[in-house]
Chains A and B, each alone.
Chain A
Amino acid sequence: MSIDHVYRADSGRILATLIRLVGDFDLAEEVMHDAFVAALERWPGHGVPENPRAWIVSTARHKAIDRLRRDSRFRDKSEEIARWAAAEEGEAPEALPDGENRVADDRLRLIFTCCHPALAVEAQIALTLRTLGGLTTEEIARAFLVPEATLAQRLVRAKSKIRQAGIPYRVPSDERLSERLDSVLAVLYLIFNEGYAATKGAELVRRELCAEAIRLTRLVVELMPERTESRALLALMLLHDSRREARVSPEGELVRLEAQDRSLWDQGEIREGIALTESALREGGARPYALQAAIAALHGEAARFEDTDWRQIVLLYRELMTRYPSPVVELNYAAAVAEASGPEEGLRLLDAIDERGDLATYHLLPAARAELLARLGRKQEAAGAYRRALSLVSNDLERRFLERELGALG
């Protein structure tokens, strides 16, 4: 196992553990970096330790103690230094005092800290993606369309607020848990989406990010089995993730739902996703993630594109639109109507969104219009809409897809 591999696979968990141990985001990041540098020096000559993660955590902890002794900021923390120093040498990084919380996972504690309501929502998202999702500041900035310097500043402010205001590093108390969960789920879904359809670069499906979002959502489900919304979100993620292999061709091109090789769909994820969707709907009712999961489940159930139950999908989108109106839901509703009732119907709905100007910078609106216009044989208008979509798209794969579609109009 290489250092590079350990870094990619484990740096998120290591960082979360270190934040718990040293109680400071910046210090944890600095000493984790120091420990990896030390590994680069030592491992090639002495061999990779048996438990690389434990080695990094232990080394980083010593580095933290050294730093604290030197740093005047922490001069009064001699008690804390003594506590760390006294911690057992061989302690595994995941060894945690049990009982206080049902799930002892450092990253779960960390996500509740990152998504603390005393932080601005943008800061919650940025901090979670940076700390738990392992995204670079640049990637996060691009995902949320803000300058990198602004985002970096946002992270600095959030971390100092955590430190100075005493935002705790733990899973909230039972009576606060449910209100705190909503913002956590929203952030997890954003991480998943960033992994599923990364806004930047050639790699559309960032498997690790999706896997991470799914893993963290699973932990939340385990922690609060009675919360149906987290179960529904997990279902939604699994059902999307099941199409991962089919969504991109071997040549690296984006494949439309109707053209996907459904034998590549992950049936295990589909089965689990459907079961979770059903139980979430039964116990929690028609809440947003459950409705979206139900739509994804109907796609998952269809052996062929022609078998898709579009009428049911239209009904679910209508339900979603009535309860939780948003222009993006309306766009998806229109696309479903086009399949259920014909492209003219769908186009009429899309034109209405377009006229309101609600999604003026969203490339999928002109892309959806272009597709329906092409089906109706209105090639010139379709070409215009594809060009408009191309002027708005930022993902390379989606750009190439749109260019191919535009070229195919002839």
Chain B
Amino acid sequence: MKYILLIYSKESDWTGLSDKDKVDMYQKYMAFTDSIKKSGHYLGGDGLEPTATATTVRVRNGKPVTTDGPFAETREQLGGYYMIDAKDLDEAAEIATRVPGASYGAVEVRPVMRM
């Protein structure tokens, strides 16, 4: 089954990190990504620029309406994702616990719709 792992955390936690800690975190993510590539679970994944760069688009009565900012103002923000292939929810959840962001933020595990 395909799952997406949505990584949420406080952006302030990230921006507040020292340069050294940021490098550490990058390395942790690289190591994690490598590990799930090797195990064959990795399908894709990216980090996202902060919500300050987000733009929200809606179409109402056929007209596009563009606004500044993310869709929802929440305490923790979507900062990145992985797309994985896992046997079942237990395997997907086990992989989610190894996402570095799970240790300070939260990882939402969502099955991808089968078309």
A residues sitting closer than 8 Å to B (CB atoms) are 76, 116, 118, 164-168, 172-173, 176
Contact = CB atoms under 8 A, between A and B. Distances in A.
A166 B1 contact: yes
Contact of A118 (B3, B89, B114): B89
A168 B93 contact: no
A164 B90 CA distance: 13
Interface string B76-115: 0000000000111110110000000000000001010010
A118 B88 CA distance: 12
25 contacts: A76-B114, A116-B89, A118-B89, A118-B93, A164-B111, A165-B89, A165-B109, A165-B111, A166-B1, A166-B3, A166-B86, A166-B88, A166-B89, A166-B92, A166-B111, A167-B88, A167-B89, A167-B90, A168-B87, A168-B88, A168-B89, A168-B90, A172-B90, A173-B90, A176-B90
Contacts of B87: 168
Contacts of B3: 166
A116 B109 CA distance: 15
A120 to B, nearest CB: 15
A28 B7 CA distance: 36
B84 to A, nearest CB: 12
A164 B112 CA distance: 9
Contacts of A76: 114
A166 B95 CA distance: 14
Nearest to A76: B114
Interface residues of B, number: 12
Contacts of A173: 90
A116 B92 CA distance: 14
Contacts of A164: 111
Contacts of B90: 167-168, 172-173, 176
A3 B89 CA distance: 38
A172 B92 CA distance: 14
A165 B89 CA distance: 6
B47 to A, nearest CB: 25
Given A118-B89, A168-B89, 13 more contacts: A118-B93, A165-B109, A165-B111, A166-B1, A166-B88, A166-B111, A167-B88, A167-B89, A168-B87, A168-B88, A168-B90, A172-B90, A176-B90
Contacts of B109: 165
Contacts of B93: 118
A64 B92 CA distance: 28
B92 to A, nearest CB: 7
Contacts of B86: 166
A167 B88 CA distance: 6
Nearest to A176: B90
A168 B90 CA distance: 7
A173 B94 CA distance: 11
Contacts of A166: 1, 3, 86, 88-89, 92, 111
A170 to B, nearest CB: 8
A172 B93 CA distance: 13
B35 to A, nearest CB: 18
Interface string B13-54: 000000000000000000000000000000000000000000
- Most A CB contacts (10 A, CB to CB) among B1, B90, B92, B93 go to B90
B6 to A, nearest CB: 14
Contacts of A165: 89, 109, 111
A273 to B, nearest CB: 34
A116 B111 CA distance: 16
Nearest to B114: A76
A76 B87 CA distance: 18
Nearest to A169: B88
A83 to B, nearest CB: 16
Contacts of A176: 90
Nearest to A167: B89
A68 to B, nearest CB: 15
Nearest to B115: A76
A346 B95 CA distance: 54
A257 B14 CA distance: 63
Contacts of B1: 166
A163 to B, nearest CB: 10
